[in-house]
Structure 1
Amino acid sequence: MRTYRTNRGPFTSQPFYKPSEIDRICGNALKAAGLMPDSPEAIRIDRFVEKHFKVSPHYEALPDGVLGYTAFGAAGVTAIVITTALDDEGGSVSERRIRTTLAHEAGHGLLHTHLFALGEKPGKLFDDGHDRPEILCRDVHGTPHKARYDGRWWEFQANRAIGGLLMPGGLVMKAAAPFCEQVGGLGLPALKEDQRERAAREMAEIFDVNPAVARIRLSDMFPGGKSAQQTL
């Protein structure tokens, strides 16, 4: 991980993570918490938050379009909060959005705690004029396009952690094997294009995420077209 000085956003420093670094950070954290399964299955993300950050996620009424926030103190994460609007919706889609939001907030905890520990005092993260150590997260989940983030690199990075926490690469490789073929001189697995949507639906069921999350994760791991083979 490298760090740069920046005038974009509320922080004076911007960490730069390669996608493989984010996956490694997430995977190591799951293993340390004893929550990395041996075979493909849903990750207990609520339990991970409790074990890794020593906080219990809770619900609050938040402004429209806000899914949650992470609060920080001198020792790290002090709270992870999800909007009551998601809990009130009910149903499997809403439950999976809660899981995705928890993973997003955990991503902030894994990737950005050091910014607060170093004495950064970002303001206006809560969009209400108060200078509080919290990262408020608006609904930008479910899109892989950087343009949607309006320069909020911390949100883009936290969204990349969703895949690393809810769909660890090694488990996805195992689960996606029936939908892959061996290509290239190294015989790397590539997702069959005519099986991509079927694979996404299957991954969504296995890892208990919404199909949009599964599609993005598969797109990251198995880019389409000539680069369809698994990325290393």
Structure 2
Amino acid sequence: MTARESRESGRKEQILESALHLFLEEGYDSTSMRKIADAAGCAVGLAYHYFETKDEMFAQTLDYFFQPYEQEMRVLAAQKDKDLYGLLEDCFSYVVKQISAFRKNHPGELHWMVRQALRERALELLEQTVMDILNGDAADGVWLALPVEDAAALLGQGLGSLLLQESAVRGAFRGSAGDSHASKESQLVQTAMRAARQILGDAVEVPRTSQILNPSMEDPSRRPAKRNENEAGGNKKEKGKKKKSKKNKQGK
């Protein structure tokens, strides 16, 4: 990278940093290109030089915000000393801790558009990370109850939504009053892991996902198996044949 390219990159990053701060603190509608330029200490024309519209700047600001998280998630997914569930647990733990740290740094209510955009990108990132794990070496020889794409969607979008619940990481996750914040985070991760094992069809006996969400629901696995109708019909025919055979012998 030349000195000029380095300066260009530095200016753009400074603008993105200012944009990120304003979008998080003031929301999308209240943040203008001029306000971002003023915060970055540059002319508004320079902001438009890098970003044609505010929408484009918002999209690139999200890319900028998620870049370090994407890098860390790739590292977690590529660990060679962990099995499939160890990798998933590391990723879930990382997500919960980062959300907790984010809420601590930004305790105020986020603008709905910013909140929704962050949520969608976070779920997409988690889904992609799960996909990488399920397609990686740690999943070799592991039988999955679902196609990889479906499993990744369920884990990334479904369990991701559970992990992203603001109430869960802000201390409202159910547990005893004496539980520490770290303990509540750990409980949340373990709840997600139990559901993950069930979704992936692991043989370990754990509550089904439906029971985790509603413990009063009956466990379908404990219901008596229904006999196959064809099999039942076949048994009746066999009994009929035996009766006829006995009658024939008696007649003789």
Task: Answer whether TM exceeds 0.5 for this pair.
Answer: no
Question: Which has a greater percent of strand?
Answer: 1
| TM-score, structure 1 as length reference | 0.27
Larger Rg: 2
| TM-score, structure 2 as length reference | 0.25
Q: Which has the higher contact order (CA 8 A, sep 6+)?
A: 1
